[in-house]
Amino acid sequence: MTIVKTTYNRRSFLQTTVLAGGGMMLGFSWLASCNPTPEEVLNMPKEWFNINGFLKIGENGVVTIMSPNPEIGQNVKTSMPMIIAEELDVDWKNVVVEQAPLNTDIFTRQVAGGSQSIRQGWQSLRMAGATARHMLREAAAQQWQVPVAEITTAAGMLYHEKSGKSIGYGEVASAAAKIPVPEEVQLKDAKDFKIIGTSRKNVDGKKIVTGQPLFGLDYKVEGMLIAMIAHPPAFGMKLKSVDDSAAKAMPGIKDVFTINLYNEGYEKQWSDTTAFDELVVVVGNTTWEVMNAKKALRIEWERTSAAENTEGYMAKMAALTAKPATQLRKDGNPEAAFKSAAKVIERTYTAPFLPHNTMEPMNFFAHVTADKAELVGPVQTPEFMEKTVAARLGLPLEKIDIQMTRQGGGFGRRLYGHFVVEAAVISQKMNAPIKLVYTREDDMTQGIYRPAYHVTYRAALDANNKLIGFHIRGGGIQDSPVHADRFPAGAIDNYLAEDWTLDSNISTGAWRAPGSNFIAGAEQSFLDEVAEAMGKDPIEFRLELFDRAKKNPVGKNNDYEAARYAGVLELVREKSGWGKNDPAGVHRGVSAYYCHNSYVAQVIDMVLEDGKPLIQKVHCAVDCGIVVNPDAAINLVEGGIVDGIGHALYSTLTFKDGAAEQSNFDKYRLIRHSEAPKAIEVHFVSNGIDPTGLGEPLNPPIIGALANAMYKATGKRVYDQPFLAGGQILG
């Protein structure tokens, strides 16, 4: 039994403000006649009793649990409430889930980023459930005049064994709400979990498959106008002049004007990264009318800094990798090791810029009045954007209200909420509720892109083919992918890691598994080549390195646990039958990587069809500690694998004269049905360790397994992403 100190402040117990009736689409008269979803089929209580900010209990025992974090497809809207429900000890079928609004007084870290929602929410969610359970037990104990220690719970019921009394949570909820918050509470033992570790369906599943309003783009209120922006056609340009006469005269158009995102002297937070500060805005009645008016704008732009071209920055990056860079870590004497080496293997890997391409383009609703701002939509960083909007509008923080919708993908793009500020500024100017909508082209051509990367690996082998030195040097545009303390640091005596960054007017930022989404593939491809040069099996070679790092680690700050790393690799070896039951005619590649606190190992089974790679199966082993919602976790694992394979094989954003050359899905390639693996088999390590995330650890390593399988299939190594540049759709 774990006892934890409760850490609520007083405001955690105040009524939370959520939009009525699940929140969305208040102006829609038809909503009332909508068919109920399973959660609404429950007999809804007449009265709710707020136990704490995370949950309320109705007089009939139905429980509403608030899901605090942004839902971008990682399933936290189901899995986070499951953790609360576990400690509360209720039947999941009596739970209704609501998306919590931004409320930093109650909730900690309402951010979707870094695969941290479950990991960092684990304790506070359990505590919220356990605290409520304790208060319910206290209330029952007082009612029955028995010691609280004698009160047990199960599935939303309270029991006193000695007297044979029992009562439902709902019947004591009113009294429980008045019980003082305990200073410490007991958490369940993992062996007693009844909800955590069992598969529960997506709480929004039925709404999704029946097309009910859920997403930011679906949000609407009476009198709402539609706004769109026009931005410079290329990076390093700004607005010179606008002739809006034709646009303004078009049907349904209310106004055309320009906005600036940030006040002069405003100190930007990291989440304020944006491509362009000054934008032209068109506001009108309907999306189609505004889209057409936007096309009728006659805008002159002027250049403010040099235009980037793909050949140009790729050459600049190669030049930076070719010369000494910032030393991040040095173990032993790598210079001497390379000098004395019998053989040096040197390979260079590159990757292009990538837009995030969430299927739901950027959008946000804003209704700003003289004294408050109401904002609704998809954003991964509501608590950061609250500050930015407050500063921009000159309103106090408590006057900024942000509600989160379900989000049509995130992948890091919605960490940068400039579109929230844009919506707020436009609404303020119009003095009306507006919804800002980006077209796909707006979204793709003014992104906060995954940086373009460039890295060179070198390995020194002695005359006995022993690995005696390792060197990594690389960087990227505005961000380096080199993680100096990650494997194989700690496993090789002589090690050197260096990096550089290159400035550019092209805006870059976090993209699902920043840095790792490139470096894992490069590193794991390189280790495959080293193993081959040493005449070793690639899994055996890695396990030897992990063994070294486990028994006698080099250096001090190694950012991984070698035993868990080896654990996933051994598990995938066993489950795939690697080396023992290799299927005939199938080419196999392996990879293992650790990032965002979770360990992953993968084996790809590939065949060639008309010279093109076809992935028959992916075997995947994952160590993310306790798996909260297994089937949903498997879904996320499958998605990460498809994502990694797709981007590595097909996706690229190139630049000419400062402009993105791909602006929509006619030129920009995303993986499609026929190109996905035919089967994905997922195995979780069972170890009872506190859970870690799954949003990001899956897509990085699969790129290495893919490259290694392609080598086995074709005899040729691939170094530059996308591996199938210009590839046609298979199937």
**Are 633 and 335 contacting, i.e. CB atoms less than 8 angstroms apart?**
no
**Which residues in 284-303 contact other proteins (CB under 8 A)?**
286-289, 291
> What is the full DSSP assignment across 552-576?
S-SSS---S-HHHHHHHHHHHHHHH
CB of 16 to other proteins, least distance (A): 25
**Are 412 and 380 contacting, i.e. CB atoms less than 8 angstroms apart?**
yes
**Are 60 and 170 contacting, i.e. CB atoms less than 8 angstroms apart?**
yes
Candidates 173, 176, 680, 710; binder of other proteins (CB under 8 A) is 680
**Which residues in 710-729 contact other proteins (CB under 8 A)?**
729
**Which residues in 316-335 contact other proteins (CB under 8 A)?**
none
Nearer to other proteins, 205 or 396 (CB): 205
Do strands 598-609 and 612-623 pair parallel, antiparallel, or not at all (unpaired)? antiparallel
CB atoms within 10 A of CB 7: 10
Q: Which stretch binds other proteins (CB under 8 A): 23-31, 145-153, 233-241, 448-456?
A: 23-31
Nearer to other proteins, 563 or 679 (CB): 679
By CB under 8 A, is residue 411 in contact with other proteins? yes
Candidates 2, 43, 552, 674; binder of other proteins (CB under 8 A) is 674
CB of 110 to other proteins, least distance (A): 18
CB of 202 to other proteins, least distance (A): 6
Nearer to other proteins, 287 or 369 (CB): 287
Q: Which stretch binds other proteins (CB under 8 A): 171-179, 282-290, 481-489, 566-574?
A: 282-290
Site string for other proteins, 116-155 (x = CB under 8 A): ----------------------------------------
CB of 284 to other proteins, least distance (A): 11
By CB under 8 A, is residue 407 in contact with other proteins? yes
Nearer to other proteins, 227 or 391 (CB): 227
By CB under 8 A, is residue 406 in contact with other proteins? yes
Q: Compute the distance between CA of residue 239 and CA of residue 89 in angstroms, rounded to an integer.
A: 59
- Least Cα distance to 316 among 462, 50, 500 occurs for 500
Q: Which stretch binds other proteins (CB under 8 A): 124-132, 336-344, 409-417, 594-602?
A: 409-417
Residue 267 amino acid letter: E
By CB under 8 A, is residue 688 in contact with other proteins? no
Q: Between the CA of residue 1 and those of 154, 189, 191, what are the distances in Å?
A: 17, 5, 10
**Which residues in 631-670 contact other proteins (CB under 8 A)?**
631-632, 635-636, 638-643, 646, 664-666, 670
Do strands 612-623 and 679-684 pair parallel, antiparallel, or not at all (unpaired)? parallel
Q: Which stretch binds other proteins (CB under 8 A): 4-12, 306-314, 417-425, 630-638?
A: 630-638
CA neighbours closer than 13 Å in the CB half-sphere of residue 468: 18
**Which residues in 487-546 contact other proteins (CB under 8 A)?**
none
**Are 535 and 541 contacting, i.e. CB atoms less than 8 angstroms apart?**
no
Nearer to other proteins, 480 or 663 (CB): 663
Nearer to other proteins, 220 or 458 (CB): 220
Nearer to other proteins, 329 or 617 (CB): 617
137: left (phi over 0), alpha (psi -120 to 50) or beta: alpha
305: left (phi over 0), alpha (psi -120 to 50) or beta: beta
Nearer to other proteins, 410 or 475 (CB): 410
**Which residues in 338-367 contact other proteins (CB under 8 A)?**
357-361
By CB under 8 A, is residue 26 in contact with other proteins? no
CB of 313 to other proteins, least distance (A): 26
Residues in contact with other proteins, counted by CB under 8 A, come to a total of 72
657: left (phi over 0), alpha (psi -120 to 50) or beta: left
CB of 206 to other proteins, least distance (A): 6
**Are 724 and 703 contacting, i.e. CB atoms less than 8 angstroms apart?**
no
CA angle at residue 577 from 575 to 580, to 5 degrees?
155
Site string for other proteins, 427-446 (x = CB under 8 A): ------------xx------
Cβ-defined contacts of 54-57 (< 8 Å, 24+): 54/84, 54/106, 54/107, 54/125, 54/128, 54/129, 54/132, 55/84, 55/88, 55/128, 55/129, 55/132, 57/132, 57/136, 57/169, 57/170, 57/173, 57/176
By CB under 8 A, is residue 264 in contact with other proteins? no
By CB under 8 A, is residue 673 in contact with other proteins? yes
Pull the structure tokens for residue 131.
């605290």
Pull the structure tokens for residue 434.
């507006």
Q: Compute the distance between CA of residue 567 and CA of residue 542 in angstroms, rounded to an integer.
A: 11
**Are 601 and 527 contacting, i.e. CB atoms less than 8 angstroms apart?**
no
CA neighbours closer than 13 Å in the CB half-sphere of residue 424: 31
Candidates 33, 35, 241, 581; binder of other proteins (CB under 8 A) is 35
Site string for other proteins, 607-626 (x = CB under 8 A): --------------------
Site string for other proteins, 65-104 (x = CB under 8 A): -------xxxx-----------------------------
**Which residues in 196-255 contact other proteins (CB under 8 A)?**
199, 201-202, 204-206, 208-215, 217-218, 220, 226, 251
What are 603's strand-pairing partners?
590, 619
Nearer to other proteins, 67 or 357 (CB): 357
